Chains A and B, each alone.
Chain A
Amino acid sequence: MELLQVENLSFRYPKAERDALHQINFSVNAGEFILLCGVSGCGKTTLLRLLKKELAPVGEKSGRILYESKSLNSPEKAGFVQQNPESQIVTDKVWHELAFGLENMGAPTEVIRRRVGEMASFFGIEGWFRRKTDELSGGQKQLLNLASVMVMQPDLLILDEPTGQLDPIAAADFISTLQKINRELGLTILLAEHRLEEVFPIADRVLVLENGSVILDDKPREIGRKLSPCHPMFYAMPSAVRIRQGLETNDPYPLTVREGREFLERNFKGDTQMPTEPKLPEGDTAAELKNVWFRYEKDAPDVLRGVSLKVRCGEVFCILGGNGAGKTTALNVIAGLDRAYRGKVMIGGRTIKDYKGGALYRNNIALLPQNPQTVFVKETVRADLAEISEAMGIPKKEHKNHIEKIAAKLGISNLLDRHPYDLSGGEQQKCALAKVLLSNPKILLLDEPTKGIDAYAKQNLQKILRGLSQNGKAVILVTHDVEFAAEISDRCAFIFDGEILSADTPQKFFAENSFYTTAANRMARGLWKNAVTCEQVIECCRAEGARL
């Protein structure tokens, strides 16, 4: 039975030059799990919001949206979950948040009590039912947002990049909860996502959106086959699909790690050698931590326990680790935001205490925080960039030139006159990066740079960071994102319980891990232990290619 039908839907924002959505046709059957993907700005959010009457944007709309062949749409029929877990929560207590929708519907206390109780136990919220919403982790917040939509018993669940702000473990939990809802309750789900590794294999159908049109609408396996490797969306595909695409065979497209592994082991023996490792840069020491200990308060437990590490100029150094392991704290200590109570922090050969006033942040060190929004304080990106140029003592006349040079380098020239908050996650990040780079740092620190940005923006970021390290800058980043770390870093380190456990090249580092490693490595590790990225696996396969 068709639950939702979209016929010839076009939409144009006021004063826009072209349609945001153009002649969209698709239908959703009851019980289906549909994945909607596309690069940022392709119209995903506009489409999803048009499907929810209360959130529909203002503009020129043509075509029809039919629910069960009617154009009716009441709030309890379609539930909507947005990207930011934080800002969707309305009330201060978990139980109140769960009840909020039903209160609006005018449900009596007894009904609310029963439904809230039911949903809380389905989602495993009992343990924090009476907590304050502010004390929850990001993953818990997003689960709460989902549960408080589910208490209204919707027929259709619409989610707009719900895992964008979550770490990979919380994101995987969230996706598996969605799968559970779909399987056990038969609920129809329409999900827009840019992190596809987990969600791609479990979707019934995938819609690929490009410039406001649906270019592909098919089963995941077919999408893998049909999507051209030159398409920007291709980077977002699961590793199995990307590896298979790189090889000339007639096998069907694998989607999961298990299928990918079977595919590789069926076709290859793994007797070729992994190409030699790239050499490590041998520049001067840019930053060094010597036995650093840190805690937030006198009586609080230690967050860092004797951390030592050394990063050279021209090196990209990744610090990986779980939540609360001390990653961000280590970065803040290097950035001089937090002071170690024992041990030494050396920046450019001098201890950090020797830098007085703002000297540490002039031509020296710059930190891009986890949330790039926090970097901006002005009305336009240009004003923000001008502010820091002025602080750097660049004469006013040269500001324009100076700003445009960096804008061209990062590809943000067209964004300079926009308000920073109006940009997409990836754009915001590039602009924030421009701002911190204007202080001309030798050491660039990045906190979770891949959070909330799509695969295409990730590729872009990788290029930018590579360029910086080739110019002799040291780049230190902390991340959850093992795929990104494997591709970009010269060395990776794992931090656990406030200690750095190992620091090595990504090949050696990931080869030693069995769980904490890239999907490509998990597929290929039986054949080539050192192959970490999709490209390396493809390279190994090709070296052995004759057998195909």
Chain B
Amino acid sequence: MKAFANIHPLVEMTYFMSVLIVSMFFSHPVLQTEALIGGILFCAALQGKKAARDIGFYLTLFLMVAVTNPLFSHNGVTPLFFLNGNPVTLEAVLYGVLLAVTVIGVLLWCKAYGEIMTSDKFLYLFGKAIPKLSLVLSMALRFIPAYLRQSRRVSRAQKAMGLYSGKSITDRVKNQARVFIAMISWSLENAMETSASMKARGYGKKGRTNFSLFRFYASDGVLLCLCLLLFMIPIMGAACGITRFTFYPRVDKIETTPAAIVVYAAFGMLALLPFILEVKEAIVWNCYRSKI
């Protein structure tokens, strides 16, 4: 589960954006199914056994989304049965299922994004555009946990003196307010020392550079090109109208022309790319280990 996380952030960002754009804006059953399968496999590879814990949540959500659409949307020409005098149509049911696939797929991809694109990668990517921003964000990320810890300490110290430590709402609000005021002084005091430490290390001179630990390897370049290529194919497909798919009034047939197959295959490969990388690495590792 390390292979994808160790790629250069620029490639990772491009990759996530490509997949998310297709899975959010293309409502085509094949592409959506591919995105969902890719998302499931990726999350499983990232989290291992922990991923299994969320299955219940996703299944419930899936059913809820899938059921909601036919209950409220009565378009379509093939009624299955009537509920309170309203038709529940096949088209609406199928569209509901597609919506559910889309929602779960996007959720899973966002989860993977959160696991992979840690704050330092984000800062690295956007810090170049706005040099100050990367430092400010980094300082904020440093400050927040320190603030929370100190605020907990003050709260406990006040509690141990029995000041406003009752369970009533007025006591609690008063206590929060007092702690907050004390924390303002603390923050200012802390900021003074931090700024002394910054000045002592030459902050404020002209020509500051931005350092990062990331390196761009040749393999990152290859992957970036591949990723862009696989992304462009569905986009071209969309431009030619291959990926258009409508449910109402009647569900379209899934296209099986060679061009359509190419689009499906390209996006399928894109969606499965991280999983393929993880599997490849696992196999490589096993080979190494067996040689040892």
Contact = CB atoms under 8 A, between A and B. Distances in A.
A377 B178 contact: yes
B121 to A, nearest CB: 11
A375 to B, nearest CB: 5
Given A55-B196, A82-B197, A371-B153, A361 B120 contact: no
Given A103-B210, A361-B160, A435-B161, A90 B139 contact: yes
B186 A54 contact: no
Interface residues of B, number: 50
A295 interface: no
Consensus secondary structure, chain B interface: helix
Contacts of A105: 202, 205
Contacts of A54: 199-200, 202
A106 B162 CA distance: 52
B138 A93 contact: yes
Interface residues of A, number: 66
B194 A90 contact: yes
B197 A88 contact: yes
Contacts of A134: 142, 145-146
A360 B154 CA distance: 19
Contact of B163 (A373, A374, A387): A387
A104 B189 contact: no
A497 B203 CA distance: 44
A134 B139 CA distance: 11
A260 B10 CA distance: 63
A278 interface: no
A133 B142 contact: yes
A358 interface: yes
Contacts of B181: 377
A369 B156 contact: yes
A371 B189 CA distance: 14
B209 interface: yes
Interface string A108-120: 1100110010000
A99 interface: yes
B197 A104 contact: no
Nearest to A151: B201
B153 A369 contact: yes
Given A92-B142, A369-B153, A377-B178, A75 B162 contact: no
Interface in B164-179: 165-166, 178-179
A337 B161 contact: no
Given A103-B211, A106-B207, A435-B161, A152 B201 contact: yes
A181 interface: no
Contacts, number: 159
A106 B201 contact: no
B190 interface: yes
B256 interface: no
Interface in A48-67: 52, 54-55
A95 B162 contact: no
Contact of A357 (B166, B193, B201): B166
B119 interface: yes
B290 interface: no
Nearest to A84: B193
Pick the most buried of B154, B159, B193, B202: most chain A CB atoms within 10 A of its CB: B202
Given A82-B197, A90-B139, A374 B153 contact: yes
A332 to B, nearest CB: 8
Given A369-B153, A377-B182, A361 B201 contact: no
Interface string A360-382: 11100011010101111100000
A377 B211 contact: no
Interface in A151-182: 152
Contacts of A107: 209
A54 B178 CA distance: 35
B73 interface: no
B83 interface: no
B193 A88 contact: yes
A465 interface: no
Contacts of B150: 374
B130 interface: no
A117 to B, nearest CB: 10
Contacts of B208: 103-104, 106
B80 interface: no
A46 to B, nearest CB: 13
Interface centre among B181, B199, B201 (most CB of A within 10 A): B201
A421 B162 CA distance: 22
A148 interface: yes
A375 B201 contact: no
Contact of B157 (A104, A112, A375): A375
The 3 A-B pairs of least Cβ separation, nearest first, read A361-B162, A75-B202, A358-B162
16 contacts: A52-B200, A80-B200, A91-B138, A92-B138, A93-B138, A104-B203, A105-B205, A148-B201, A337-B160, A357-B166, A367-B161, A371-B153, A374-B154, A374-B156, A377-B158, A421-B189
Given A55-B199, A388-B163, 15 more contacts: A91-B135, A92-B120, A92-B141, A100-B201, A103-B210, A105-B202, A134-B146, A148-B201, A152-B201, A337-B159, A373-B186, A391-B163, A421-B185, A436-B161, A439-B162
